[in-house]
Amino acid sequence: MNFIEELRWRGMLHDIMPGTEEQLNKQMTAGYIGFDPTADSLHVGHLTQIMTLIHFQRAGHKPVALVGGATGMVGDPSGKSAERNLLSEEILSHHVQCLEAQLKKFLDFDCGANSALMVNNYDWFKEFNFLDFIRDVGKHITVNYMMAKDSVRKRLEGEAGMSFTEFSYQLVQGYDFYYLWKERNCQVQMGGSDQWGNIVTGTELIRRKGGASAFAITTQLIKKADGTKFGKTESGAIWLDPAKTSPYKFYQFWINTSDDDAQSWIRIFTLKSKEEIEALEQEHALAPHLRILQKALANEITVRVHSKEALQMAIKTSDFLFGNGSLEFLKSLSDTEILDVFDGVPQFKIAKAELIVGIHATDLLAEKAGVFTSKGEARKMIQGGGVSINKEKLSDANQIFDVNQLINDQYLVVQKGKKNYFLLIIV
């Protein structure tokens, strides 16, 4: 199966420039995707692009991951209704380093001819002066052409307006494509469907300035069946950096996908074959409560992004927190294991002296620990039957806690509702 067919059956393909498939079938081709360093980590939204590059390489082509040290300085107006704030050079270069380290994990950089390549467009832009740029690049593209782009037109029609900086973005990205085409024989640019306009400016530049054709493929934007935005939770984005989103939370994100979404996402975010996926779907349909699809999805992505070990820990943690989590299990763990299980769970430190004299549940949860913002809230929640300590539901808001209730002589496990855990560490 070729690359395009692969994307197509997985439901990833959005748009493709005529001639692209022929080029890919003809010979090994280099193709790139750009990642702008807007943060110090990639998030799950970037995974589609990462998977696209992985498929590209598996199909025998040469994937190029571009980190936008230069484009990040300008700011992509696509999909943005207002001008963005510029990031400083130091912050950007830090972001670039973080992204490069993350991207390295996903591709094979040492497999001969189609080894992956990592580039940073800052390398060819830092020496490019303004006059040269507007003469060598700007001359080939008309303002009329640039203004017709969706990303520009929407901003011109709106109230917010648009700076010259962001207006120029497509030229900067376009030149990237031209540069990679010329210097690295890179003939294809890929990206999310919102990037079509920017990519086409690149192929246009290659056509006019280089007199050759280049190709473009865009992928579907990931949508959730319920219409909410993919990759965001109440607590923010799901990052690939384990320091920003713990592997446990990352795993949970995928476990919690709806059945509808799981069906489409397992095609996009795993490398499982059509047969494997269809078998899983049948299995899932027979016993939907086992959530076979979600587990298969979560397992594979967690291993790809983090590691086998991280997955094991995430599963163990999930089993405890949601499944047959018993106090005995927790008591059987060492201090470090407990801290591992509760990694990523809010933790509060409390002075042992408070426990020695004994403390009311409401004082403990609202004043000493930030589980609740006020004692009234704590009291109401306890009366509503929504609070457990050490896996036991609290029935009385005035219940006294002392050192006898501690696990391993220093922990109390608090649950608000079923899902929200807090670890109180008594020191």
Partner RNA sequence: GGGGGGAUUCCAGAGCGGUCAAAUGGGACGGACUGUAAAUCCGUUACUUCGGUUUCGAAGGUUCGAAUCCUUCUCCCCCCA
Q: Which residues bind RNA (CB under 7 A)?
A: 226, 234, 252, 255-256, 258-259, 288-289, 291, 294, 318, 322-323, 362, 366, 373-377, 379-381, 384-386, 416-420
80 catalytic, yes or no? yes
- Minimum separation from the CB atom of position 362 to RNA (A): 7
- 94, 232, 244, 272: the active-site residue: 232
Nearer of residues 100 and 281 to RNA, judged by Cβ:
281
233 catalytic, yes or no? yes
Cβ 330 vs Cβ 338: under 8 Å? yes
How far apart are alpha carbons 17 and 23 in whole angstroms?
11
- 8, 58, 80, 207: the active-site residue: 80
By DSSP bridging, strand 186-192 and strand 117-120 are unpaired
- Minimum separation from the CB atom of position 154 to RNA (A): 19
- Minimum separation from the CB atom of position 366 to RNA (A): 6
- Radius of gyration from C-alpha coordinates of the chain: 26
Provide the residue type at 10 as one letter. R
- Minimum separation from the CB atom of position 212 to RNA (A): 49
How far apart are alpha carbons 223 and 280 in whole angstroms?
22
229 catalytic, yes or no? yes
How far apart are alpha carbons 146 and 167 in whole angstroms?
8
- 23, 38, 165, 410: the active-site residue: 38
| Residues whose CB is less than 8 angstroms from the CB of residue 113 and which lie 6 or more positions away in sequence, other chains included | 28, 62
- 233, 347, 399, 405: the active-site residue: 233
By DSSP bridging, strand 186-192 and strand 215-219 are parallel
Nearer of residues 111 and 290 to RNA, judged by Cβ:
290
By DSSP bridging, strand 347-350 and strand 236-237 are unpaired
295 catalytic, yes or no? no
38 catalytic, yes or no? yes
- Minimum separation from the CB atom of position 230 to RNA (A): 15
Provide the residue type at 381 as one letter. M
Nearer of residues 349 and 419 to RNA, judged by Cβ:
419
Other beta carbons within 10 angstroms of residue 141's beta carbon come to 18
Nearer of residues 239 and 421 to RNA, judged by Cβ:
421
- 105, 223, 229, 349: the active-site residue: 229
- 29, 36, 43, 317: the active-site residue: 43
173 catalytic, yes or no? yes
Provide the residue type at 77 as one letter. P
Nearer of residues 256 and 347 to RNA, judged by Cβ:
256
Q: Look-up: residue for tokens 């997985």?
A: 10
- Minimum separation from the CB atom of position 176 to RNA (A): 38
Nearer of residues 18 and 384 to RNA, judged by Cβ:
384
For the packed helices 150-157 and 196-205, what is the interaxial angle rounded to 10 degrees?
120
245 catalytic, yes or no? no
Tell me if residue 65 falls in helix, strand or coil: strand
Give the pair of three-digit tokens for residue 233: 């939770």
Kindly tell me the burial class for residue 28, based on how many C-beta atoms sit within 10 Å of its own C-beta (0-12, 13-18, 19 or more). exposed
How far apart are alpha carbons 326 and 320 in whole angstroms?
7
194 catalytic, yes or no? yes
Q: Which residues are known to be catalytic?
A: 38, 43, 46, 80, 84, 173, 194, 229, 232-233
